[in-house]
A and B are shown apart, each in its own frame.
Chain A
Amino acid sequence: MSVFNQSRSNIIRLIFAGMFLIIAAQLFHLQIISKKYKQQAQENALFRKSIYPSRGIIYDRKGRAILNNTILYDLMVTPAQVKNIDTAYLCQLVGIDTAEFRSRVLDAKAKNGPFRPTIFEDLLPPEMYARLEENIWRFPGFNLQERPIRVYPYNAAAHIMGYVGEVDSAILRRSNNYYQLGDYVGRSGLEQYYERQLMGQRGIEFWLKDNKNRLVRKYGNKDLDTPAIAGKNLHTYMDIELQQLAERLLAGKTGAIVALEPSTGGILAMASGPNYDPNSLTGPDKQTNYAHLALDVAGPMLNRAIKGQYPAGSTYKPIGALIGLDEGVITPASGISCLGNYYGCNRPVKCDEHWAGHAANLRLAIANSCNSFFCNTFRLTIDNPEYHSVRKGLTRWKEYVNAFGLGHRLGVDLPSEDGGNIPDTTAYDKDYNRSWNSCTMVTMGIGQDKMNVTPLQMANAMCIVANKGYYYTPHFVKDIEGAAEEDTVLNRYHIKHEPVTHISNDVFEVVHSGMQDVIEAGTGRSARIPGITMCGKTGTAENKRVVDRRVLKLRNHSWFVCFAPRVNPKIAVAVVVENGGYGATWAAPIGSFIVEKYLNDTLRNERLADVNRIAGQNLMPKFLVRVQFLTDSTRAADWTRQTGDSSRVLKYLDRANRAFLLDTSEGSKNPLMQNIRKMPGYKPLLPRTAPAAPASGQRPDSSRRTSLAKDTQAVRRKTDTGVPRHPAPPISQPTDQKGDSTQP
């Protein structure tokens, strides 16, 4: 019995030991052999937190920051911790009602769960932040979190600086997943072009998180972490005061101004009108503002200096003269007798000067901008007997013009530059079935026909003329702070291009003299600056546009190009004012202000009145109102068709509203409008006050543009600091109320 029992007790011992051995084997498997669990534990508990470096600052030539960083605050909520708070008071501080409060907390819970902080209200305005910061202790579960944003201290150079926005899927794909969802990248302008330099290097910190994904504390002692490296600062050639002046002068106009430094190709100023407030795309209301800007048919986000394609008009003439001289088809002494028309071809080409002898020689022809002379020169150039054929002549001419930087992209350090258009034989073969001659395209000699150039190209061409044959690719950035990679990015801007140096200096001198005469005695007298020898050329370019399926011949574009001083030029400028009329009327004075401001660092007192007059002038094309109406009403109709909700389209159907929306408010003859304007409570849709005194940093154009379409007016009304989330009550409009009453 005892032996039997002894064996039984041993069996029990064996069972015990056996089970423990099985467990030990499983532990060995889990803890020693399998690596899977260690990795899963890391995934469970470690969080790679990206540390965002501050983006680089952009400075102007005098070291003033034109694009800087600042910190705004987001109000964050952790729903699970919100208990017993004075909801009404918080709502009052944030400016929402309790229903909105509740829905936002629920949204936060749905988005990130109850234990993680979620944005409750982003980018608080400074005064709201101040009030919240004092009282935040009253609201457990709420906290304020820093958020760095971009700020434009001078409120200028919106098109050049660009803006940052969240990455989209295309950028994510292109960057090989370097960016993550929610990252901010430069979406236009220098912000986009120099993204790599400006963004710096993201750092990584390892944090421990708990089972509810809350970050608990930092992991390890920093040896795993990668520190964030701040973005590199950019120093540009820009003169921000010049830029501000340029933008002021373009207020209420469509057009562009480009000012270059001929000796380096540095861009001193580049303005495009209409403009927008760059700070409106950083603050709390950036989404709405962006939508308004994008829907405006005037294209305030379009940088016309590099994307606007205009017929060059008479500003092409100095280049035409240089080509003719170099080809030997004319000499400085060549002349033509012109009495107001060029009769060389079947259709006469008009010339603005009628008096005999205004084109007696090249210098006079340039000074008086004789169309006949340059039509003739162009025909002589492409009919050059040396080439035996007009096709070869045109090809040769195109090579010349291309050498002057026209008709192809220059490679400025901004994204999406346009190349303009210099036609070649194929374009005419297509249009004229291969039967064409020099008369077919004779107006190309005066910068019309199929020739299209951008303002930047014209300014660059002026640099070539001023430099007598060479240029540097126009660019903004002089150097990148602390960059070893300078040699790769900026190298191409340090290459001297010498496309037309075979043209002799004497030939250039003749053209310079003609251009100097333009300013001193010719068409550009309005641009004369005492004490500065300036060479320039005005231009008046015909243009057409299709509106309502009809080709409208619009007012001429007003052009002016110049460089100064004549010897050792410091600045080359190109100005175009769309539909402004004669070059001498608008573009020439604008160009001369720019030159004077840059060379003398200030404007003479007697010119300030002129500056104000020009800045206050509204030259927005009238057809924009019509186009805006068409676009908006079509979109509203589309919306109605898609959703069956007619509320948006009703205001376009109402007759009174139609009249109002289409009214340019400048002497409308519509009897209804006249009656409305007489009503006692009537206020114009947009305030039309005279521009404020030219205080620097102010953008007088922000409230001055004409487009009346309601959909775009919010942006305009917005001021710099603004209380965007809480817009001022809408300006009372009698027709608006009428429109409302028609709604069901």
Chain B
Amino acid sequence: MNQRNPTISKGVDWSLVWIWFILCAIGVTSIFAASYHEGENVIQGFISLKTDYSRQLLFFVIAGIIGTFILLTDSKFFTATANLGYAFGIFLLLLVFPFHSRVKGTESIIRFGSAFQLQPADLCKLFVNLALAKYLSRVETNFTRPRSQLIAAAIALTPAMLSIMQKETGLSLVYFSFFLVMFREGLPPSVLVIGFSFAVLVVATLLLEPNTLAIILTAIALLAIYILRRQIKRSRSILFLIVGIWFVCVGVQRFVVPFAFDHVFKPYQVKRIYDAIGKDYVPKDRATEAALESEQKGKKKDNNYNVKQSKIAIGSGGLIGKGLLKGTQTRYDFVPEQKTDFIFCTIGEGFGFVGSIIFLGIYILLLMRIVSVAERQRSVFSRCYAYGVASVLFFHIVINVCMTVGLAPVIGIPLPFISYGGTSLLTFSVMLFILVRLDADRQMVLR
């Protein structure tokens, strides 16, 4: 026990703090590498606060200070204010509708003056995490009951709905990551399996010819019937189940997906999905094409270009990379948005395969650490909260990196602790430090 500062350091998991520190440092360095130009005075650049990397450094320091304050807070504060915070978050999200920025493409942002801006959809995942943990840890909640599961899902997905209404589809997807928390707390695995299968089916629909896919599905169904022929003899219902699943699958690939693409999604979203799987999107008719073009008008380059350049940048890194500040693709602005969403390109090009793997290793270390921290909690609240943090981080990392390497559609979500942006860095840091605070009090049972 440290006598001089017992309240802070007691029980604190320093490994998480160190990982946080390393990641933030890598983030500042990457932004420096992406935005530094030859001949600039490095020290002046860092002090002046006019460059992106100096601002990111400032946010890093602010995050550290806020983190210290969080460590000084009583854990009970978080359980006590969880529901209130959730209400506040929803309130902020609703506030967007009358007060959002008028600039096209940033309808989810509230501006205060010219300097400061707030994106509630981004901030809200913190409150959702706390509120979900609070709900799941209630004594009266029995999570095996479907009613509780529905309420938990509603808590998680309400902000997602509001985000979609603010045209932030990417951010809304983040809230689906809370299903991992619910899974840990007893949600039937079939929900995850069905959800995953559905995603695979949709992607396969896009990739394959409709008839080919139908034949494949039929073959799988027949194979299943053949393998399960013994059981089918015993109970006919399995046969009906298989036929039913087959029927639903074919229906989805034949009717639901085309219908959704033509009528539910916006043309630009469809194009993004096609871009991600590397197919050219051919608009169905004139009206769709016109709509697509008017969407694209504001942007100089479409996402297909972004992903292509990003893949070139990462691919050109090779085994050990070109070295810091030596990357030709990221240095000369070939990759758009490389300080924010495509920051991983800088690492991939500068440090190559080895560097990327080490970098991802730090992330996996962080996630695994959080999971083991979660499992040693005595209180359900802390455990749920920890799983929430892990899920949100996981979702951000996977989608962001997959997007840069061309495995996922381009949805603008930042890489935690690395991407340029104060809101993002502060939100993730606060989430992590609350977890460290809760973990420090793991002997206490919080309600």
Asked whether any CB of chain B lies closer than 8 Å to the CB of A504, the reply is no
Residue B329 at the chain A interface, CB threshold 8 Å: yes
What residues on A are CB-neighbors of B375 within 8 Å? 6, 9
- Let me know if B426 is at the binding interface, CB within 8 A: no
Contact present for A41 and B313 (CB under 8 Å):
yes
Q: Are A40 and B312 in contact (CB under 8 A)?
A: yes
A38 to B321, CA, bound (A): 11
Q: Is A728 close to B, CB under 8 A?
A: no
> For window 26-43 of chain A, which residues contact chain B by CB distance below 8 Å?
26-28, 30-32, 34, 36-38, 40-42
Quick check: B184 and A20 within 8 Å, CB to CB? no
Question: A23 touching B398 by the CB < 8 A rule?
Answer: yes
Asked whether A37 lies within 8 Å of B183 as measured between CB atoms, the reply is no
> Scoring B residues 312 to 337 as 1 if CB is less than 8 Å from chain A, else 0, what string do you get?
11111111000000001100111000
Closest to A34 in B: B315
Is A45 at the interface (CB under 8 A from chain B)? Answer: yes
Q: Does more than half of chain A's interface fall in helix, strand or loop, or is it mixed?
A: helix
Which of B348, B356, B368, B402 interacts with A16 by CB under 8 Å?
B368
In the complex, A41→B334 CA distance in Å?
Answer: 10
Q: Is the CB of B316 within 8 A of A38?
A: yes
Q: How many residues of B contact A (CB 8 A)?
A: 42
Collect the chain A residues with CB atoms within 8 Å of residue B317's CB.
Answer: 31
Is A17 close to B, CB under 8 A? yes
Contact status of A12 and B184, CB under 8 A, knowing A23-B360, A23-B402: yes
B371 located at the interface, meaning its Cβ lies under 8 Å from any Cβ of chain A in the complex: yes
Q: Report if A608 contacts B (CB, 8 A).
A: no
Using A9-B184, A27-B357, A28-B353 as known contacts, say yes or no to A211 and B312 having CB atoms under 8 A apart.
no
Does A217 lie within 8 Å of B38, measured CB to CB?
yes
Known A-B contacts A31-B348, A37-B315, A45-B329; A211 and B368 likewise in contact (beta carbons under 8 Å): no
Closest to B367 in A: A16
The answer to whether B60 has its CB under 8 Å from any CB of chain A is no
Residue of B nearest to A208 (CB): B328
Which residue of chain A has its CB nearest to the CB of B318?
A31
**Are B402's CB and A12's CB within 8 A?**
no
The answer to whether B360 touches A38 (Cβ under 8 A) is: no
User: Does B267 sit within 8 A of A, measured CB to CB?
Assistant: no
Kindly list chain B residues whose C-beta atoms are within 8 Å of the C-beta of A24. Answer: 357, 360
Residues of the A chain whose Cβ atoms lie less than 8 Å from the Cβ of B353: 27-28, 31-32
Closest to A4 in B: B186
B318 lies within 8 A of A38 (CB): yes
Question: For window 165-214 of chain A, which residues contact chain B by CB distance below 8 Å?
Answer: 208-212
Could you give, for residues 362-393 of chain B, a 1 whenever the CB lies within 8 Å of some chain A CB and a 0 otherwise? 01100110010011000000000001001000
Q: Does B409 sit within 8 A of A, measured CB to CB?
A: no
Contacts of A16 in B (CB 8 A): 364, 367-368, 371, 390, 394
Q: Are A36 and B315 in contact (CB under 8 A)?
A: yes
Q: Does B407 contact A (CB under 8 A)?
A: yes
Report the Cα distance A34→B311, complex, angstroms.
11
Is there contact, CB below 8 Å, between B184 and A5?
yes
| CB-defined contacts of A13 to chain B, threshold 8 Å | 368, 371
* Alpha-carbon separation in the docked complex, A37 to B352 (Å): 13
Taking CB atoms, residues of chain B closer than 8 Å to A8 are 183-184
Cα–Cα, bound, A16→B401 (Å): 14
Q: Do A211 and B402 contact each other (CB < 8 Å), given the known contacts A12-B184, A31-B348, A37-B315?
A: no
Taking the complex as formed, is A216 at the interface, i.e. its CB lies under 8 A from any CB of chain B? yes
Are A38 and B407 in contact, with the CB atoms below 8 A?
Answer: no
Q: Does B214 contact A (CB under 8 A)?
A: no
A20-B329 contact in complex given A26-B405, A31-B317, C-beta closer than 8 Å: no
Answer whether residue B416 sits at the interface, using C-beta atoms and an 8 A cutoff: no
Interface hits, A203-259 → B, CB 8 Å: 208-212, 216-217
Partner of A12, one of B329, B364, B387, B407: B387
B398 engages A31 (CB within 8 Å): no
> Within 8 Å CB of A41, what residues of B?
312-313, 315-316, 328-329
Interface membership of B406, Cβ < 8 A: yes
Residue in A11, A16, A31 with the greatest tally of chain B CB atoms within 10 Å: A31
Residues of A within 8 A of B352 (CB): 31
- Chain A's closest residue to B368 (CB) is A13
- Residues in B neighbouring A210, C-beta threshold 8 A: 332-334
With contacts A26-B407, A30-B315, A38-B315 taken as known, whether A211 is within 8 angstroms of B334 at the C-beta atoms is: yes
- Does B180 count as interface, using CB distance less than 8 angstroms? yes
**B314→A30 contact, CB < 8 A:** yes
- In the assembled complex, the CB of B128 is this many whole angstroms from the nearest CB of chain A, namely 19
Give bound CA distance, A367 to B184, whole Å: 125
User: Hey, which chain B residues are within 8 Å of A208, CB to CB?
Assistant: 328, 332
A-facing mask of B392-412, CB < 8 A → 1, else 0? 001000100110011100000
Which chain B residues (169-208) contact chain A, with CB distance < 8 Å? 180, 183-184, 189
Q: Is the CB of A37 within 8 A of B311?
A: yes
Contacts of B367 in A (CB 8 A): 16
Q: How far is the CA of A209 from the CA of B333 in the complex (A)?
A: 10
Q: Is A695 an interface residue, CB under 8 A from the partner?
A: no
Residue ID in chain B nearest A33 by CB atoms:
B315
**Interface contact B405-A44, CB-CB below 8 Å:** no
A44 touches B328 (CB 8 A): yes
Chain A residues whose CB sits within 8 angstroms of the CB of B316 once the complex forms: 37-38, 40-42
Q: How far does the alpha carbon of A11 sit from the alpha carbon of B309 in the complex, in Å?
A: 35
Complex CA gap A37/B308 in Å reads 9
Instruction: Report B146-190 residues with CB < 8 Å from chain A CB.
Output: 180, 183-184, 189
Given A9-B371, A19-B394, A41-B316, A27 and B405 touching (CB < 8 A)? yes
> A19-B394, A37-B316, A211-B332 known; 18 other A-B pairs, CB under 8 Å?
A9-B371, A16-B368, A23-B401, A23-B402, A24-B360, A27-B356, A28-B353, A30-B311, A31-B315, A32-B318, A36-B315, A41-B316, A41-B328, A45-B329, A45-B334, A211-B333, A211-B334, A217-B38
A residues sitting closer than 8 Å to B (CB atoms) are: 5-6, 8-9, 11-13, 15-17, 19-20, 22-24, 26-28, 30-32, 34, 36-38, 40-42, 44-46, 208-212, 216-217
Q: List 28 A-B contacts (CB under 8 A).
A: A6-B375, A8-B183, A11-B189, A12-B180, A12-B387, A12-B390, A16-B368, A19-B394, A20-B360, A20-B398, A23-B398, A23-B401, A23-B405, A26-B407, A30-B311, A31-B315, A31-B319, A32-B353, A37-B311, A38-B315, A38-B316, A40-B315, A40-B316, A41-B315, A41-B328, A45-B329, A210-B333, A212-B333
For the complex of A and B, the 7 pairs showing the least CB-CB separation, nearest first, are A37-B315, A41-B316, A210-B332, A45-B328, A30-B315, A31-B353, A211-B333
